[in-house]
Structure 1
Amino acid sequence: MRQVLFLLLTLLLPCTAAQAGSELPSPQGRVILTVTGDITRTNAGDEARFDAAMLRNLGMHAVRTHTPWTEGVSRFEGPLGRDLLAAVGARGRQLRVKALNDFVAEIPVSDVEDNDVLLAMRRDGKPMSVRNFGPLFVLYPFDDHPELQTEKIRFRSAWQVATIEVE
């Protein structure tokens, strides 16, 4: 039995190592997100650049929630933050999320791992424009978890996200 386990591990470890250092596909459309820092998968030097299609390919998830900045309940859709971090092989403990207007939010990676934090791209079925929190909005599932309705979490919910640095 040990020999079989050793053989399996010997065969699987090189694949895992190769995947960890492999490059991401190149964006075909306009880049809307750049991820830098402590990552192992890139597609432009030491950066991981994503267009909208690449983000959608990470898997779209939805949450219906109120936010402190919108009226009523909206349905937001986008990839989960943890899926993005897995795609780039993130190894850090902190995310430095920067918006188009230079606002910076510091988000512990544990937030993204422990909650279904979205990189919302759509609101109520429509793409989010820069004027309306887009192209990307770091959104916590506020209604699903009332304990997230704190000032500290609100400051982590950045919109008009352009870059994420993994520290």
Structure 2
Amino acid sequence: MKLFAALILSFSCLSAHAAELTQPTGPVILEVTGAIDNTNAEGVARFDKAMLEQLEQHVTKTATPWHEGKVEFEGPLGRALLTAVGAKGDTLVVTAINDYAAEVPAEDFDNYDVILAMKADGKYMRVRDKGPLFIIYPFDENPDLNSEVIHNRSVWQIKKIEIR
């Protein structure tokens, strides 16, 4: 009986690491490629808004260099996205709609409550508002994050993340 339970547990762990994601039913707003185990198309994990909202969510109220006063941002935790795709790399290349790209250490998503903000002050962010996704660090919680290096990692209008 113990052997059977061990086999079931082993199989469960293996399938958790290499699984297909569900298919998006709405417009795809994010593609994740590179060193990932979990996909829903050939070599890519595609996410629509509903799929991103099913990941662990977090709210961060913080001031940013791009907004007046404090803004309440809401969206999935970056580490929840990395877990969902089975990320294996240590660097993320985050690319915006206008092809601006920044390298973000994967450890930032583990060390801080970095979110892929979908909402600002309760409203979905449109492209003109830096949406549909915007990397937000908890700037007010950790003053060390309020630096040019971190600001450059705070990509908005994200369309793609490559895991390296």
Check if 1:95 corresponds to 2:60: no
Shift of 1:13: 1.1
Offset from partner CA, 1:116-143 (integer Å, 9 cap, x none): 0000000000000000110000110000
In 1, the alpha carbon distance for the partners of 2:158 and 2:70 equals 22
In 1, the alpha carbon distance for the partners of 2:6 and 2:81 equals 27
Runs of 5+ in structure 1 lacking a partner? none
List aligned pairs for 1:1-167, cutoff 5 A: 4=2, 8-167=5-164
In 2, the alpha carbon distance for the partners of 1:30 and 1:83 equals 21
In 2, the alpha carbon distance for the partners of 1:9 and 1:78 equals 37
RMSD over equivalenced CA pairs, Å: 1.2
Q: TM-score scaled by structure 1?
A: 0.95
Shift of 1:7: 5.8
Shift of 1:104: 0.4
Q: TM-score scaled by structure 2?
A: 0.96
Runs of 5+ in structure 2 lacking a partner? none
Q: Which amino acid aligns with 2:49?
A: A
Offset from partner CA, 1:1-57 (integer Å, 9 cap, x none): xx95x6654331111111211100000000000000000000011100000000000
After the TM superposition, which of the residue ranges 144-153 and 7-16 deviates more from structure 2?
7-16
The number of residue pairs the alignment matches comes to 164
Shift of 1:108: 0.4
In 2, the alpha carbon distance for the partners of 1:131 and 1:121 equals 13
The alignment-based identity, stated in percent, is 50
After the TM superposition, which of the residue ranges 63-72 and 12-21 deviates more from structure 2?
12-21
In 2, the alpha carbon distance for the partners of 1:110 and 1:148 equals 14
3-state SS in 2 of match to 1:95: strand
